Structure 1
Amino acid sequence: MWHMARPRKPLLSRARIVACALALVDDEGLQAVTTRRLAAELGVRGPSLYNHFRTKDDILDAVADAVCADVDLSMFEPYTEGAEAAEGAERAGSTDGPGAADWQDALARWARSYRAALAAHPHIVPYLARGPGRRPSQLRMADAVFGALTAAGWSRAQATHIGATMRYFVAGSALGSFARGFVDDAELYARDYPHLDEAHLLAEYQQRVDDGAFETGLRALLAGLAQPRDD
């Protein structure tokens, strides 16, 4: 009895292509992802990629979707369950709402998870900013956020505006670092920009500054969203 020899290289798969493309995006940016470069990195011939993806954009879509798959959506489950319970209650003649879950807390928890996923791969953010398209993970996220907001009492138009606002805020916060934008040159700031006399220290406290800015903005944003109101 004979056995087929094991291939010297791992078989090509969608998962391998996506992992390789994401590594290129993280290291060198979106422009590094070409079918020729991917084939070289994976040790295959270019046409092999087309057995798994039709175009380079399809590969980037899969990369973007993989990043968003890491976002936690579990905080929205009570709203889904509440909405289903509300439909049953309505049929039974009850006027109870979908539940007492705190939609602001749910949005805050989701925003932190979303930011963490994007901040781990900031070079993919401009591609994600184009919108969800047909990407399943992003569509599931949009569906969960929209469903939670409408279940909490917001109109469909308001829920759309709030969801878009949250996406703008989170994506912007993950795109770069405010603290790292200042150079370590005390003389520069002291000489020409007296109100920035400690700006040269910001990079040293980058994580604290950027996390604090995100939390400040998140609290302000959510506080500005009063109880659901009419359009």
Structure 2
Amino acid sequence: MARPRKPLLSRERIVRCALALVDSEGLQAVSTRRLAAELGVSGPSLYNHFRTKDEILDAVADEVCAHVEVSMFEDGTGWRDALLAWARSYRAALTAHPNIVPFLAQGPGRRPSQLRMADAVFGGMVAAGWSRAQATHIGALMRYFVAGSALGSFARGFVDDAALYARDYPHLDQAHLLAEHQQRVDEGAFETGLRALVDGLSLQFGQQQS
């Protein structure tokens, strides 16, 4: 029998399959046995590409972060606008794959995309005049904020039951409508918080320059 022109398995196929499982069923759905079954291969063949399940999840997390734009820290954009643009791009990548966020929140480890992102943000802040310690704090602060905003939906946390709120929580008399406007509410909350954070940093930056 002639050998297939394309290999049956590749790192890219494994990562795509693992990401699809994370998106649809969560982190707990990913195992080497499940991936092998989904890909139609034997379990040991996965180890030709990845040594452990965590290595697979590292590659999945790295693939998600590869879509975060960081060029704004290197193209002359002011630090304030760069932070705003980066945070929006970062959130967009995470909200597209919210189930991977808890794994990403553990830190960059050895993941190239996350390390490049950290390097770009830190370098951009230092180049703009922030101290190395301040740049580290800003990077951490923004990561906490963006990751937290992508973990879940504030609006969807309120049930569609007007009677519940009217009876015991009169100040929440419109809360039953929040889920219906989920995207607008969640994006509005993110933008409000993001601008508050960056405005506060701008104030600090101005004070240290004066």
Distance 1:156 1:77 in 2: 17
Partner of 1:93: none
Moved over 4 A (4+): none
Identity between Structure 1 and Structure 2 (%): 80
Q: Supply the AA of the counterpart residue of 2:175.
A: A
Partner of 2:33: 36
Which of the residues 98, 116, 137 maps onto 2:92?
116
Q: Supply the AA of the counterpart residue of 1:214.
A: F
Distance 1:37 1:179 in 2: 33
User: Between Structure 1 and Structure 2, how many residues are aligned?
Assistant: 206
Partner of 1:62: 59
Partner of 2:117: 141
Distance 1:127 1:157 in 2: 25
Once the 2 structures are TM-superposed, how far is the Cα of residue 6 of structure 1 from its aligned partner?
Answer: 3.7
Task: Please list the CA deviations of residues 55-84 of structure 1 after superposition, one character each: whole Å capped at 9, or x if unmatched.
Answer: 0000000000000000011211225xxxxx
Structure with greater Cα Rg: 1
Partner of 2:166: 190
Partner of 2:150: 174
Once the 2 structures are TM-superposed, how far is the Cα of residue 11 of structure 1 from its aligned partner?
Answer: 1.3
Cα-Cα RMSD: 1.5
Task: Please list the CA deviations of residues 9-66 of structure 1 after superposition, one character each: whole Å capped at 9, or x if unmatched.
Answer: 9610000000000000000000000000000000001000000000000000000000
Once the 2 structures are TM-superposed, how far is the Cα of residue 152 of structure 1 from its aligned partner?
Answer: 0.4
Indicate whether 1:13 and 2:10 are aligned.
yes
Segments of structure 2 that go 5 or more residues without pairing to the other structure are: none
Partner of 1:125: 101
Partner of 1:223: 199
Higher helix share: 2
Distance of aligned partners of 1:47 and 1:169 in 2 relative to their CA distance in 1, 3 Å threshold: same
Task: Please list the CA deviations of residues 168-213 of structure 1 after superposition, one character each: whole Å capped at 9, or x if unmatched.
Answer: 0000001100000000000000001000000000001001000100
Distance 1:6 1:35 in 2: 24
Distance 1:47 1:78 in 2: 45
Once the 2 structures are TM-superposed, how far is the Cα of residue 102 of structure 1 from its aligned partner?
Answer: 1.4
